[in-house]
Chain A
Amino acid sequence: MDDLTREFLLESQEGLDRMERCLTDLEVRPGDAELLADIFRSVHTIKGTTGFLGFSRLEALSHAGENLLGLLRDGKLAANPAIVSGLLSLMDILRGVLRSIETTGAEGESQQQDAAMIARLEKLQLGDTSTAVAEPELAATTVEAPGHPGKTHKPRAPRKRSHQGAPPPADSGEAGPPTEAEELASEPEPEPSPAPAVAAPSLPARPASESPAPETQAPSTSGTADSTLRVDVELLNRMMNLVGELVLTRNQILQATNADAGFAILGRRLDMVTADLRESVMKARMQPVSHVFSRFPRLVRDLALGLDKKVRLEMEGQETELDKSLLEAIRDPLTHSIRNSIDHGIEMPDVRVAQGKAAEGVVRLRACHEGSHVIVEVHDDGAGMSIEKIRQKAVEKQLVPPQRAELMNEREILQLIFLPGFSTAATVTSVSGRGVGMDVVRTNVEKIGGKVEVDSRAGKGTVLRLRIPLTLAIIPALIVRSRGQNFAVPQGSLTELVHLSTGENDGRIERLENAALYRLRGRLLPLVFLDRLLQQSPREPGAPCDIAILNADGRRFGLVVDGLADPEEIVVKPLAAVLREIGLYAGATILGNGEMALILNPGAIAQNAGVSLTAEIEEAADENRAGQHDFLLVETGDRRAALPLETVVRIERIPRSRIERAGSRPVLRFEGALLPLDDAAGDLIRQTDDPEAQTTVVVCRDGQRHVGMTVSQVLDVTGGRQLEEAGSGLVAEGITLLHEKVTCIVSLAAIPPLENLVEQHAEQTL
């Protein structure tokens, strides 16, 4: 396929996408002249180029569409659902032909379909009785060349030159082509000098001949063409790859230069530039979600018409941007969810009215940023899901034991719709709510590292929330070691870490026949030994080990490894097909120290080891029943302190040299931002000569901001009980009971914000 055709295909696709958006809008605002002009332009552009490229089928079809649109644009015909439907089906056919050109290089044959379509469009033109009959011709001419009656130019750019030299009479005659050739040949000479002489006769002709151009073409292209550029996705992928490399090299350099003060500054600079570059390249891959959203008005319209329901689609946050590959990945889950909303959520108009709702249901699509995630919500004001029915169904399908189902709260019950067994056809129709392949939606979203949440009120509606990471290519991961080999575990599925020191693991790892279990806060957690899973040489019994507690696709288990290394941001490299087939690896990566590591796929490991799905629900139910708060128990200096677990973002072991000072306050650059540090452990005050000295920093969330706290040691994650004052029964604030010891809860709010820090600094320097 030549470049011109490829360019044409791209442009036409975009045109059709725009047209689709506009057409559905048109139904709401039938008289909107701007919309009509926009649609008209899209079709006109296609028609113009097709004639030029010799795609006669496209030309005939778009010509018919253009005639109809011309009438609409000129106000001779008013848009109605029949016309919009007609134009939409025209669009479908056009898309089909474009696809055919893309794959086979030819338009394909479908005489009958085309003829029927054209006839349909012509009939629609006649819908208006008064003036329509004579219109088609008129409409066509007004578009093509209002300045040249009877002349059908092929759109070719250099043509306007001929008008300049040749006076109007010559232009309209048969002599046109030869004169043009003559003139083009002799152009350099007459061009500058005769201009004033010919000015008078040519002036009236010029505005007439050139005015249609800006009207039909310019607005669609000139605005964005100057400031944007089409870039091959392949090139962007490659750039992303190279940036990934740079990130790796940077990591290596940072590790290598930590010891040297002179290099450290250069290293930091490299660090910043790399971070910036990475962000820019990632931005280049971003596309607004409107690329996916734009097809939904049509989907909603067609579905609603088909089901005899009245549905309005509201979209919000269309400008929110997401990595292109992720955008592609959420297309299907979103389509599925919207279909569900309309099919199962929104009630028939009469039912809605009877319930005191507006006859027209509303499906709201909303996208927004939240931290390093994009949230996409599908909200409907339909019937919602009945908790009781889901509970019944889940028990009936033996997805949860009846006793357990009784104890589950609403939220947990709602999560049941994501269980694979829940989505069989029979279930869908007998349960009032949804369930059509919700497990598929969840699997697809989790495949790209996202999460799905659902919230529903019977009679009020349902919200489905997709939480999507901003990018795929670079993920935070924890590096674990097993039998001398590195493996990366994606942080997304990691919930906590447990260390078992020498001798301790015998007692704390329990066995039920062949199944190894760990008692985590009173509940048994299935364990998977990485060395055994991978058939590596077995480790000595009783050697110290770590348990990474993972939650993958709703399966919760502990992965037993020899040891932990630092968390790292890793660049995911694909594996060859023969290794993908093993199924346990999600890819490979190159670590900061230059070693390679295989990336484990927690979901596949859980499945391989037969960890059941409901484990997560049990766990959640258990935690909620206990009504406790979980705390991270840390040691700071010689005291023990508790940090509310929900505020803990990350625990980092960092070289002391990374901590910098702003004024008198220690600060840490963390994920590109500045983190105020509370030196609770007193670690930083103590002088040390050891350049490799490390310190542990717990990064916490305090409202909107993040703060860090140095600690001597992280002891445990454990549930704390509230304490009441004797006599008064008032809940004591700021303390909790952990491991049967009264422990102070760290007040994060007490860490002064950075604005103060700057002021302090200013005062000091003054």
Chain B
Amino acid sequence: MNDTHASPTQEVCSVVVGDTLFGIPIAHVLEILGKPATQPVPLAPYFVGGLVHYRGEVLTAVSLRRLLGMESAKSPEDVLVFENGDGLFGLFVDSVGEVLHVSAADHEPNPATLEARRQALFDGTWKLKDRLLVSLEPERLDPMRLASAFPA
């Protein structure tokens, strides 16, 4: 599409959590579950939002809100399904938006002023025309990794 640019473009799935717009490379997203039924897990690490039923498997889903220390969502959330070494896992987000085309040229690393936890979670940001799109790498959201990287 943007053949005039020298830098490659990428398709990202945009999701909203709170007031922030996040982008996740579409290639990593296995499936999007619209407001599925969830089951909380008592005593689970704080970042686990609950269990989600996905094609006969029971997925552990990470809550981006909890991970970022935000209040729990008031309404049901959407879930993105990712694959990791261990199997599959889910990610709770407020809502899933459209697929956006972003150019590597518009990408900038995390600002140094960003809080440490977010520094570790975010993979820089893309500058859209009217707002910022924070880049998320599913790899960094793997529950197993989170458990060791961000103990409670």
CA–CA, A578 to B90, complex, Å? 13
Q: How far is the CB of B136 from chain A (nearest CB, A)?
A: 19
Inside 8 A of B45's CB, which chain A residues have their CB?
Answer: 578
CB of A578 within 8 A of CB of B48, answer yes
Chain B positions 47 through 77: 1 when the CB is less than 8 Å from some CB of chain A, otherwise 0? 0100101001111100000000000000000
Chain A positions 220 through 252: 1 when the CB is less than 8 Å from some CB of chain B, otherwise 0? 000000000000000000000110110010000
Q: Which stretch from B8-16, B20-28, B35-43 is at the chain A interface?
A: B35-43
Nearest residue (CB) in B for A598 is B41
Assuming the contacts A588-B51, A590-B53, A596-B53, asked whether A578 and B37 have C-beta atoms less than 8 A apart, the reply is: no
Tell me whether B32 is interfacial, beta carbon within 8 Å: no
The majority secondary structure among interface residues of chain A is mixed
Inside 8 A of B56's CB, which chain A residues have their CB?
Answer: 241-242, 244-245, 248, 573, 590
CB of A588 within 8 A of CB of B58, answer yes
Q: Which of B43, B45, B58, B86 has the most CB of A within 10 A?
A: B58
CB of A582 within 8 A of CB of B51, answer no
CB of B60 within 8 A of CB of A578, answer yes
CA–CA, A221 to B43, complex, Å? 55
CA–CA, A506 to B45, complex, Å? 34
CA–CA, A128 to B131, complex, Å? 92
Q: Which of A573, A576, A598 has the most CB of B within 10 A?
A: A576
The majority secondary structure among interface residues of chain B is mixed
Query: Looking at the complex, which one of B43, B58, B59 makes contact with A589 (CB distance below 8 Å)?
Result: B58
Chain A positions 67 through 106: 1 when the CB is less than 8 Å from some CB of chain B, otherwise 0? 0000000000000000000000000000000000000000
Tell me whether B143 is interfacial, beta carbon within 8 Å: yes
CA–CA, A535 to B42, complex, Å? 7
CB of B147 within 8 A of CB of A578, answer yes
CB of B51 within 8 A of CB of A578, answer no
Assuming the contacts A576-B86, A596-B51, A596-B53, asked whether A590 and B43 have C-beta atoms less than 8 A apart, the reply is: no
Query: Looking at the complex, which one of B43, B60, B144, B146 makes contact with A575 (CB distance below 8 Å)?
Result: B60
Tell me whether B87 is interfacial, beta carbon within 8 Å: yes
Q: How far is the CB of B59 from chain A (nearest CB, A)?
A: 8
Tell me whether A577 is interfacial, beta carbon within 8 Å: yes
CB of A576 within 8 A of CB of B39, answer no
Chain B positions 71 through 112: 1 when the CB is less than 8 Å from some CB of chain A, otherwise 0? 000000000000000110100000000000000000000000
Assuming the contacts A536-B42, A578-B147, asked whether A595 and B37 have C-beta atoms less than 8 A apart, the reply is: yes
Tell me whether B114 is interfacial, beta carbon within 8 Å: no
Tell me whether A485 is interfacial, beta carbon within 8 Å: yes
Nearest residue (CB) in A for B39 is A596
Query: Looking at the complex, which one of A584, A589, A596 makes contact with B37 (CB distance below 8 Å)?
Result: A596
Nearest residue (CB) in A for B61 is A576
Inside 8 A of A534's CB, which chain B residues have their CB?
Answer: 42-43
Chain A positions 570 through 599: 1 when the CB is less than 8 Å from some CB of chain B, otherwise 0? 000111111101101100111000111110
CB of B39 within 8 A of CB of A485, answer yes
CB of B144 within 8 A of CB of A598, answer no
Query: Looking at the complex, which one of A536, A577, A584, A597 makes contact with B39 (CB distance below 8 Å)?
Result: A597
Q: How far is the CB of B147 from chain A (nearest CB, A)?
A: 5
Inside 8 A of B143's CB, which chain A residues have their CB?
Answer: 576-578
Nearest residue (CB) in A for B145 is A578
CA–CA, A244 to B55, complex, Å? 12
Tell me whether B44 is interfacial, beta carbon within 8 Å: yes
CA–CA, A598 to B45, complex, Å? 16
Inside 8 A of A579's CB, which chain B residues have their CB?
Answer: 41, 44, 48, 60
Nearest residue (CB) in A for B143 is A578
Nearest residue (CB) in A for B88 is A576
Instruction: How many A-B residue pairs have C-beta atoms within 8 angstroms? Tell me.
Output: 69
CB of A578 within 8 A of CB of B44, answer yes
Inside 8 A of A584's CB, which chain B residues have their CB?
Answer: 43
CB of A573 within 8 A of CB of B58, answer yes
CB of B37 within 8 A of CB of A594, answer yes
CB of A577 within 8 A of CB of B58, answer no
Which residues of chain A from 509 to 558 have a CB within 8 Å of any chain B CB?
Answer: 534-536
CA–CA, A577 to B42, complex, Å? 15
CA–CA, A756 to B144, complex, Å? 61
CB of A595 within 8 A of CB of B41, answer no
CA–CA, A242 to B44, complex, Å? 28
Q: How far is the CB of A483 from chain B (nearest CB, A)?
A: 9
Inside 8 A of B86's CB, which chain A residues have their CB?
Answer: 576-577
Which residues of chain A from 387 to 404 have a CB within 8 Å of any chain B CB?
Answer: none
Nearest residue (CB) in B for A246 is B56
CB of B40 within 8 A of CB of A573, answer no
Assuming the contacts A485-B40, A579-B41, asked whether A573 and B144 have C-beta atoms less than 8 A apart, the reply is: no
CB of B57 within 8 A of CB of A573, answer yes
Nearest residue (CB) in B for A484 is B40
Inside 8 A of B144's CB, which chain A residues have their CB?
Answer: 576-578
Nearest residue (CB) in B for A483 is B42
CB of B39 within 8 A of CB of A598, answer yes
CB of A576 within 8 A of CB of B87, answer yes
Assuming the contacts A576-B143, A590-B58, asked whether A535 and B43 have C-beta atoms less than 8 A apart, the reply is: yes
CB of B147 within 8 A of CB of A582, answer no
Q: Which of A248, A578, A582 has the most CB of B within 10 A?
A: A578
Q: How far is the CB of A699 from chain B (nearest CB, A)?
A: 30
Inside 8 A of B146's CB, which chain A residues have their CB?
Answer: 578
CA–CA, A663 to B58, complex, Å? 45
Inside 8 A of A581's CB, which chain B residues have their CB?
Answer: 147
Query: Looking at the complex, which one of A248, A485, A536, A576 makes contact with B60 (CB distance below 8 Å)?
Result: A576
CA–CA, A486 to B39, complex, Å? 9
Inside 8 A of B89's CB, which chain A residues have their CB?
Answer: 576
CA–CA, A536 to B41, complex, Å? 10
Inside 8 A of A576's CB, which chain B residues have their CB?
Answer: 59-60, 86-87, 89, 143-144
CA–CA, A575 to B45, complex, Å? 14
Inside 8 A of B58's CB, which chain A residues have their CB?
Answer: 573-575, 588-590, 596
CA–CA, A578 to B37, complex, Å? 21
Nearest residue (CB) in A for B84 is A576
Q: How far is the CB of A146 from chain B (nearest CB, A)?
A: 55
Inside 8 A of B41's CB, which chain A residues have their CB?
Answer: 579, 582, 585, 598
Inside 8 A of B40's CB, which chain A residues have their CB?
Answer: 485
CA–CA, A437 to B40, complex, Å? 39
CA–CA, A573 to B86, complex, Å? 14
CA–CA, A579 to B47, complex, Å? 11
Q: Which of A242, A574, A579 has the most CB of B within 10 A?
A: A579
Nearest residue (CB) in B for A589 is B58
CA–CA, A248 to B58, complex, Å? 13
CA–CA, A579 to B41, complex, Å? 8
Inside 8 A of A574's CB, which chain B residues have their CB?
Answer: 58
> Ordered nearest first, which 10 A-B pairs have the shortest CB separation?
A534-B42, A576-B60, A596-B39, A588-B58, A245-B56, A573-B58, A578-B143, A578-B147, A582-B43, A596-B51
Q: A581-B147, A596-B39, A596-B53 are in contact. List 17 more A-B contacts (CB 8 A).
A: A244-B56, A485-B40, A486-B39, A534-B43, A573-B56, A573-B57, A574-B58, A577-B86, A578-B48, A578-B146, A582-B41, A582-B43, A585-B41, A590-B53, A596-B37, A596-B51, A597-B39
A-B contact pairs, 28 of them (CB 8 A): A241-B56, A244-B56, A485-B39, A485-B40, A485-B42, A534-B43, A536-B42, A573-B57, A573-B58, A575-B58, A576-B144, A577-B86, A577-B147, A578-B45, A578-B48, A578-B143, A578-B144, A578-B146, A579-B60, A582-B41, A585-B41, A589-B58, A590-B56, A590-B58, A596-B37, A596-B51, A596-B58, A598-B51
Residues of A within 8 A of B (CB): 241-242, 244-245, 248, 485-486, 534-536, 573-579, 581-582, 584-585, 588-590, 594-598
